[in-house]
Amino acid sequence: MNLDADTLLPAVTSLVRDELRRLRGDAGAAVDATTWDASTTLGGDTIGADSIERLTMATAVAERFGLHELDAGDYLLRKHSLGEWAGLAAQGIQQAGGMTFRSSGTTGEPKPHRHSLADLEQEVFHLANLFPGTRRVVSLVPAHHIYGFLFGVLLPRELGCPVHHDQGGGGLPPADLDHGDLVVGFPLRWRQLATLYPAFPAGVTGVTSTAPCPPALARDLEQRGLERFVAIYGATETAGIGYREGPDAPFRLFEHWESDGLYLYRRRRTGLGEAVTPPDHLEFHGTRHFIPAGRRDGAVQVAGVNVHPDQVAEKLRARPGVAEAAVHLDRSEEPRLAGWIVPDPDTDPEELKATLQTWIREHLTPPERPVQLTLAEDIPRGPLGKPAVGQPA
């Protein structure tokens, strides 16, 4: 697959936008890439990146598209527009033969995971067969994440169809949504669409990934007229592993994966790859169908970001006035963290709660923040002494 600058521009734009938002902290929320195009300059009035920001963004682009493997990362600093950066990205991914994606997470440094271009193309070939008749891809996910790259960059190329990218981050599809559109989102975005769209046009297909989609939401979307609603199971480490249609159905392995019930093996032209441990415990029904049964590392997903409740609880325990804390995932509506707090005996409970809520807003990222704090005399525990608050994660 020949990937040129025009094809990769959405992914480069998305990566630059997210890096700039991260670097600028609270002010980063104002960064809007809606009007950015190939001629937009990094240091011009539209982006206005300073030398430190340009260096950081160049490093991210070099790693993502393989330029660092070619010792060509500094070439980006000699170019000034997004189009020129996309051109270098095209050279990098073709010559290096792969890309590096970073796993989402709020604790620790997200880990890099390299995928060969051949593996990505193999998956997209199967995705194209899964979505025949697609006339346009409408991507509401960042194009530089592996899910957004597969569906928003490579899949339209494979299908030979146009693509609409939500570069502004507002999360809404175009007003002319129509028959043959494939809308790519994630559970939080789909919940937003279910609120705003009483009915979808006939012939629209939806795709979701990055986090488990609540069954009630999937049924609601189908009742609102989606022709198909397909959930993709995978991770940054593995890319897509399986898919399912219908919230009660098990996932089916993509054709390029095999399993012995414990490990996964990728089928390549050269034979089976090395054993891969999936991020979740998988309960297999036969050799091709499975149901995820909880993360191996204890992480939960909030808005598509991996969060570790135990590590959040540890941070709360370190706050003055807190004798004990436990954090769990509340799935009653849109999944968010919730916390139980045991105050020190000589601490005013309500004052502590207000102080903690302020600290949480100032020091934790949105996915990490417990949106509900329950004060208690003790943490409920199960037979083995582990916290038994909320629903099992």
Distances (CA, A) of 276 to 143, 235, 249, 258, 273: 25, 12, 24, 10, 8
Beta-carbon neighbour count of residue 68 at 10 Å? 17
Q: Quickly list H helices, 224-300.
A: none
Q: What is the pLDDT of residue 389?
A: 65
Q: What is the pLDDT of residue 383?
A: 46
Can you give the residue ranges of every domain in the chain?
A: 1-96, 98-297, 300-375
What's the pTM? 0.82
Q: What is the pLDDT of residue 391?
A: 42
Q: What is the pLDDT of residue 384?
A: 43
Q: Residue 274 has which token pair?
A: 């090395």
Beta-carbon neighbour count of residue 201 at 10 Å? 15
Residue with tokens 């346009």: 136
> What length does the chain have?
393
Axis-axis angle for helices 82-96, 51-64 (nearest 10): 30
- In tens, the pLDDT along 50-80 reads 999 999 999 999 999 999 888 876 889 999 9
Q: What DSSP element (H or E) covers 245?
A: strand 239-245
Q: What's the rounded Cα separation, in Å, for the pair 316 and 45?
A: 42
Residues 6+ apart with CB under 8 A from 124: 1, 150, 154, 155, 157, 158
DSSP annotation string for 327-375? EEEE-SSS-EEEEEEEE-TTS-HHHHHHHHHHHHHHHS-GGG-EEEEEE
Q: Are 91 and 71 in contact (CB under 8 A)?
A: no
Q: What is the pLDDT of residue 15?
A: 96
Q: What is the pLDDT of residue 74?
A: 82
- In tens, the pLDDT along 210-255 reads 888 889 899 999 999 999 999 999 999 999 999 999 999 999 999 9
Fold of 300-375: GMP Synthetase; Chain A, domain 3 (3.30.300)
Name the CATH code of domain 98-297 (choices 3.20.19.10, 3.40.50.12780, 1.10.10.60, 1.20.58.1610).
Answer: 3.40.50.12780
Q: What is the pLDDT of residue 175?
A: 87
- Chunked into runs of 10 residues, the chain (393 residues) has average pLDDT values of 93 95 84 93 90 94 92 85 96 95 67 94 96 96 95 97 88 90 93 90 95 89 96 94 94 95 88 87 93 82 83 91 89 83 91 94 92 87 57 38
